[in-house]
Structures are given as C-alpha cells and as structure tokens.
Amino acid sequence: MSSQRPRCPECRTPIRESEINQLQLAPCSGCNSLLQVELFPAFFRASSAGQTADEVLLEGESTCFYHPTKKAVLPCSGCGRFLCSLCDCDLGGNHICPTCLEAGRTKLKIKNIERQRTRYDNIALALVFFPMILFYVTIITAPLVIVLTVRHWNSPPSLIQQTRVRYVIAIALAALQIVGWGVLIVVLIGMFYAR
Amino acid sequence: MPVSNYRRLTWRSRRPTRIALAVPRTTLLFGDDHILKVDSTLFAESYKRFFFRDIQSITIKTNRRREIWNIVLGPLLAILVLERLLDTGAGNALAATVTITALLSAVLLVINNLCGATCDVRIQTAVQADTLPPLSRVKRANQALELIRPLIIQAQGQLTPEETLARVRELAAPPVPKPAPTGPLNL
C-alpha cells in the first residue's frame, strides 16, 4: 500500500481525515487551497513482492527457455515456450514471454500496451498544404502524398479522429496539384513550340 | 487496439498551456477497464493508461486560472469600451474592430465566470501520478468522476467510510519500534 498519508499537491501537508472522500471542496490546512480528495481501496493495498524463480532440483525437470537453471512453471500462451516465474508476463490472465510481449507491442497484436501512433493522415495533409507557400515544391510533394496515403491507408488511425477524411482530402488536393502541374507543363511546351 | 471500445470522458481536449502550440493536446477516453490519456501533437499520439483496479486516488485542487483570465479580460474590456465611448471621431473600420474585440472579450469573460472554478486534477496509481488537463473546471471534473467512480468501485470494491478512516489512521500512526536484539548475556 502507499506508505504515506495523502498530501496536498501544493504544500505537501498531510490531508486531514475529515477532508477525505467528502466529495466536496474543503480548504487545505496548510495552504488554504480548496481540495477534494478521493481515496480508493488500491491506496491501502499492500504491494506484493515480485516472484523469484526456483532453481531446478531434479534431473529431468522442465526448465525455462530463457533461464536453463530455473524451473519452468507454465508455457507461454503465444509461442509455447516454457517459462519460469521471472519470465512470466501476466497480461489479464494471458501468460506470455518477453519476446512475445515485445512482438505483440510492435505488431499491434496485444491490446492495451501500444504506447504511441504516428498520424500519417496529418503528415499527408501537412505535405499538401505547407509546400503551397513555395508552390514549385509541390511537384515533388504531391506524388509523395499519394504514395504516403496509399501506403498507410490501412494503418491504425487516431483514437480520437477515427475517420480517413484527412487521407481523402490529402489525396484530392495532391491530385489537383499534379493535374495543375500537368496543365502548366503542357501550356509551357505549347508556348515553346509556338515561337 | 479496438477503437470502438473507447468513449470520451470529456468532449474537451486541452493543452496545459494555450501559448505554446508545440505542447501536446490532451484528450481523455475511457474503456472497460482503464482511462486512456492521449497526448496529441501534429504528427503523433502517445498513450498513457490508468487501469481502474490500480487507481489509488484522484485529487481535485482549485487554482487561480479563472482569476487570472478575469484580470486579463476585465481591464481589456474596460479599455476597449472606454475607447469606443470616448473616441467618437474614429473611422468605421477602427470602430468596428474595437467593438468586435470588446464583444469578444465580454463573451469570454462571461463564459469564464459561468463555467465555474478552475482546477487541476491529479490521478495517482502505485507507479505513476499524473495530471488530467482536460478536467480544468471543478464542475467538469466532478461530472467525469461520476462516470468513472462506479467503474473503479466495480474493479476494486468499496470501503465504508469507517474502514477508510481506520486505514488512514493506520497510516498516520507512528511505526512501532522493533525491540533491540539481546545476546544470551546482556553484559
């Protein structure tokens, strides 16, 4: 459990018992800031010590794939390798090894461990809009936008804006830019031959 | 990550400071078993999860942000109104600009005060403590707590007020000193 009493985040004065779980603001005894503190049972829960793996005692006992001298306690749910208690990563009842955990994270196969996503839709929109300041750069960026959008069309979208509208806008504007360049080049060639 | 499992905790996203656009914008979502804090910059999002079974405490502390905005907007509005009243010879464009700016300031001032007290919300687990910037008003913070409190209780159970008090007193009590070891002959 947390070994310290709850404290005011401003002045670190321990919060009075009468101010805890009152569901209304009350002044802190130290700095008079209005505080509302809500404690849950996890605050008082004792933290369990980490498990240590047992050494292999008998010949023929199953050993951990990653620690050959440690006794295996269960197989990995992902790859089937035997694991000791040190290597066991418990994810909501699923026991997997560190390798499967990392693979699951990078390949987005395991829920709830993804730490970040790249916003390719915003990158595509930025590549469409910002180069228009120096319009001649768009001859390079417009095809790049189309390649980027096609390449990442099925990439996981933002969790907040879950639509592909930005991809559609980026492709449409990039296509317009390419058409514009095509028309410009044709006109310039026509003017050159007309002389 | 199944996107359909998440719902917005608040409809508002917020940067911790409005001045620096490079600072990530934070959005709060919640799923079946955790709160998801999403920090978004232009080209990337990063995620932080607070599982309901791990949340130890949520603290709401008022701050002076509302007063500061009142101090900024109030005099600005006063100056603009005064200027508009006194400078009757101003051209149409300037008069329109001053009027629009004054109206905008007045609207922002009213909204700032109608929305209620501003606050910082802090969430704590055993391994991390973090702020939740979108919960910047006490009213909004309490509405969000009303949403997630039942989920936390479902994950952790609930202590009665008497049990909570007893546990807090245990924490406050000084630790019992261990007796010093003595040898067979205490010489």
Give the model's pLDDT for residue B21. 55
B177 assigned to some structural domain: no
Name the least confident of A20-24, B2-6, B30-34.
B2-6
Q: B149 contacts in A (CB within 8 Å)?
A: 38
- Residue A128 confidence (pLDDT) above 80: yes
Where does the pLDDT of residue B2 fall: very low under 50, low under 70, confident under 90, or very high at 90 and above? very low
Structural domains in chain B (count): 1
- Residue B186 confidence (pLDDT) above 60: no
More confident residue, B55 or B166: B55
Q: How many CA atoms lie within 13 A of B60 on its CB side?
A: 24
Q: Which long-range contacts (CB under 8 A, 24 or more apart) does A159-166 make?
A: A159/A117, A159/B1, A159/B3, A159/B6, A159/B29, A159/B36, A159/B38, A159/B45, A159/B47, A160/B13, A160/B27, A160/B29, A160/B38, A160/B40, A160/B45, A161/A121, A162/B3, A164/A121, A166/A121, A166/A122, A166/A124, A166/A125
B135 assigned to some structural domain: no
Q: Is B154 on the interface with A (CB under 8 A)?
A: no
Q: A8 contacts in B (CB within 8 Å)?
A: 61
More confident residue, A112 or A76: A76
B71 assigned to some structural domain: yes
- Residue A168 confidence (pLDDT) above 90: yes
Give the model's pLDDT for residue A53. 67
B3 assigned to some structural domain: no
Q: Which of B43, B126, B167 shows the shortest C-beta gap to A118?
A: B43
B85 assigned to some structural domain: yes
Where does the pLDDT of residue B118 fall: very low under 50, low under 70, confident under 90, or very high at 90 and above? very high
B154 assigned to some structural domain: no
Substitution target in B125, B138, B171 with the highest count of A β-carbons within 10 Å is B171
Where does the pLDDT of residue B1 fall: very low under 50, low under 70, confident under 90, or very high at 90 and above? very low
Supply B33's token pair: 């078993």
Calculate what percentage of chain A has a pLDDT beyond 70.
92
pTM: 0.79
Domain extent at residue B99: 65-114
B42 assigned to some structural domain: no
Where does the pLDDT of residue B3 fall: very low under 50, low under 70, confident under 90, or very high at 90 and above? very low
B159 assigned to some structural domain: no
- Looking at residues B166-186, what average pLDDT do you find? 69
